[in-house]
Every structure is written in structure tokens, then in C-alpha cells.
Amino acid sequence: MDKIPVGVLGATGTVGQKFIILLQGHPYFEIRELVASERSAGRAYSEVVKWKQDVPVPQPFASMQVKGLDDSLDAQILFSGLDSSVAGAAETAYAEKGHFVISNSKNHRMDPDVPLVIPEINPDHLAMVGTQRYKGGIITNSNCSTMFLAMALAPLHRAFGVASVHVTTMQAISGAGYPGVASMDILGNVIPYIADEEEKMERETQKIIGTLKDGVVEPAPFAISAQCNRVAVFDGHTETLSVKFERKPEIAEVARALRSFSGLPQERRLPSAPEHPILVMDQPDHPQPARDIWLERGMATCVGRIRPCPVFDVKMVILGHNTVRGAAGAAILNAETFVKLGYLKS
């Protein structure tokens, strides 16, 4: 098929940079437009970006002229890595003009008519786009820490019924964007506060695992208690999780439910889909950010140390790549699902 023209909003930021890396040579999409702040507009991308990726700025994007948020765009799909301070109004404006915004920003996630999607879990929620008030539409992916929690809980809730959850996170500094956390604050330290993070995990997970009825999402009924910490790890969010179930399973049953989990992206063999969305690890000292985040190209959720919990029923450790599956890669997989299911209007 002819490639779909796409744009990247917030192209100079860390998530925008990751979009550019992951969209290179994509079989569905071709980047035609890079969008950033007005101070960057009209200049070559390589002149304005503080590039922080492991490879050089790809050609031909280095010489591509950056557009501003007020400029007219031609791309059907816009991948948004905009900062939340500007994302809400900008994404709304683009959707009203007929663009389909695939957003990594927090602003619209909890809007009642906006789908908050993880395609392995709730691809049916994409139907909500058809009832939005926009000429185009807005689709969101979750907060990075929510992503891995929801991925682990979804198959367990289907199999055993989740009753309540306690989760503690150890989140990488890359999740704070660039320049991130000051070195004198994070080196040799743990910061036990990330603004709004706990609330996002508690609310977003319930929406993702919730049920779509008559165009409205009924949140999952179980309670979540989250405690979020920033730690001196560059990439990879680790989470320790304790779960109480409606029907207490054996440990082997939990591992089997996680290992066998797959969804529409795997069935349709979407380009960004991991073959195994959840990797269950048997080694007692895994998962580890330095060893495991790039498994399945950074798109898997790693789960280990599944064992009995003396307070709840089962406890485990989960891990994922926060800037790939927890950000840009998640948005791209959402766009692939949206296109594959035939929702993109010509």
C-alpha cells in the first residue's frame, strides 16, 4: 500500500526524537512534517534539536524544515510528543482540522470520549473515535509506568479476577525528559515523588482494563494503590507488584496466564508488535533494566519473581522500556492498529 503521510509534534523533544528513530523505514508510515515550537520553526531540524539518541540524526530529517504549531499541516496522522503544557489545546486544534492525533501526552487520556489504548488489551476502544466531536480524532496511549502495570494485570484479571493491587515503581530518569533530574538530586539517591504519577497509574489502568459499553468506558472495578519513585537508572521502569484475586490461583497458573497472553497486534502481525508481549523470566534475579529492556526491541513487558504474597495473594516484579513501549513505540502500535482495523478516513 502507499505509505501514509505522518507528522511528529514536539519533534525536538526526547519522545519526538524516539518517534523519528522508530518510524524510519516503517512499512505503513512516512514522516513528511516535523513540528516544534515557534523558535524552531523555519529552520533545519539538525540546527534546532538537542539530539540525545544513540545514532546520528537520520537523513533526510536532518535537513527537513521544522514547522510551527500554527502552520498548516498535510499529514493525516500526527504523532504527538508535545509537552503537556501545550499539548491539550494543540491536539484539540489539530483534531478539529481533521488530523488524527496519536498522543503520548497526558492531557486527553481521561476525556470520556477519547480512547486510552493498549492494543493487546482494548483495541475495541478505538471505536470511540467515531463518536468524537472532531473532524479527525484523538487517540492516547498510557503513562509509561501504567503501560507495564496494565499489561501484567490484564491477562490476570481475565483469568482470575483482580480484586486489589499494590504497586511500587522505580522509574528511570529518562522518563523525566531532557534535561531530566539534576545530577545532584538523583545520583546516590531515590526521589519518592513524581508529580501526578501515582494518580495516573491508579486511574489510567482502570480505564484501559475497563469495558466499553454504549460508547462509554466502565472502569475496571478493582482498587489500585501506587507509590512512585525516581531512581538513578537511565532507561527502564521497574515495578514491584502485589495482587489480590477474586479466585486465588496457583503460582504456575499465574505464570501460564502471563506467558500465553497475546492480542490483536500479534494476530495481525503488526510491524511494531512484539512476538511475545509478556516475557516471563525464571531467573531469580531478573528482570533487570540493564539486561532486559531491549528484549523484543523494547516492546515487551518483562515479568519475574512470581511468588506467593503473605498479605495479598501473589507478588512479582515487572519491567519495561519506558521511552519505547512506554511512549513512542506504544503510540506507533496504536496507529498501526487504528489503520489495520480500517478506522482511518481517507
Indicate whether 189 and 296 sit together in one domain: yes
CATH code: domain of residue 132 = 3.40.50.720
Q: Grade residue 60 by pLDDT with cuts at 50, 70 and 90.
A: confident
pLDDT on residue 345? 72
Indicate whether 67 and 175 sit together in one domain: no
pLDDT on residue 346? 59
**Rounded mean pLDDT of 221-247?**
98
Residue 289 lies in a domain: yes
pLDDT of 50 strictly over 70: yes
**Rounded mean pLDDT of 103-123?**
98
Indicate whether 30 and 118 sit together in one domain: yes
Indicate whether 112 and 150 sit together in one domain: no
Rounded to whole angstroms, the Cα distance separating 6 from 144 reads 23
Report how many domains make up the chain. 2
Indicate whether 96 and 163 sit together in one domain: no
pLDDT of 290 strictly over 90: yes
Give the chain's length.
Answer: 346
Indicate whether 195 and 300 sit together in one domain: yes
Read off the pLDDT of residues 11-46 as tens digits, 9 standing for 90 and up: 999 999 999 999 999 999 999 999 999 999 999 999
For residue 203, the tally of other CB atoms under 10 A from its CB is 18
Indicate whether 290 and 208 sit together in one domain: yes
Indicate whether 261 and 292 sit together in one domain: yes
Domain that holds residue 90: 4-142+328-340
**Which of these, 264, 240, 232, lies nearest to 122 by C-alpha position?**
264
Q: What is the DSSP string of 259-280?
A: HT---HHHHTT-TT--SSSEEE
Residue 85 lies in a domain: yes
Residue 26 lies in a domain: yes
pLDDT of 246 strictly over 80: yes
**Which of these, 327, 340, 311, lies nearest to 82 by C-alpha position?**
327
Four-residue CA torsion sign, 85, 89, 92, 93: negative
Estimate to the nearest angstrom the gap between the alpha carbon of 20 and the chain centroid. Answer: 16
pLDDT of 112 strictly over 80: yes
Q: Grade residue 76 by pLDDT with cuts at 50, 70 and 90.
A: very high
User: Which grid cell is 185?
Assistant: 538530586
Average pLDDT value over all residues in the chain: 97
Indicate whether 118 and 165 sit together in one domain: no
pLDDT on residue 287? 98
pLDDT of 1 strictly over 90: no
pLDDT on residue 59? 87
Residue 346 lies in a domain: no
pLDDT of 168 strictly over 70: yes
pLDDT of 236 strictly over 80: yes
Residue 313 lies in a domain: yes
3-class secondary structure per residue, 171-192: ECHHHHCCCCCCHHHHCCCCEC
pLDDT of 73 strictly over 70: yes
CATH code: domain of residue 214 = 3.30.360.10
**Which of these, 323, 331, 341, lies nearest to 77 by C-alpha position?**
331
CA distances from 291 to 17, 277, 287, 295, 312 (A): 23, 17, 7, 9, 29
Active site residues: 144, 237
Indicate whether 136 and 98 sit together in one domain: yes
pLDDT on residue 241? 98
Read off the pLDDT of residues 81-90 as tens digits, 9 standing for 90 and up: 999 999 999 9
User: Which grid cell is 174?
Assistant: 529518562
Indicate whether 122 and 158 sit together in one domain: no
pLDDT of 180 strictly over 70: yes
Indicate whether 213 and 181 sit together in one domain: yes
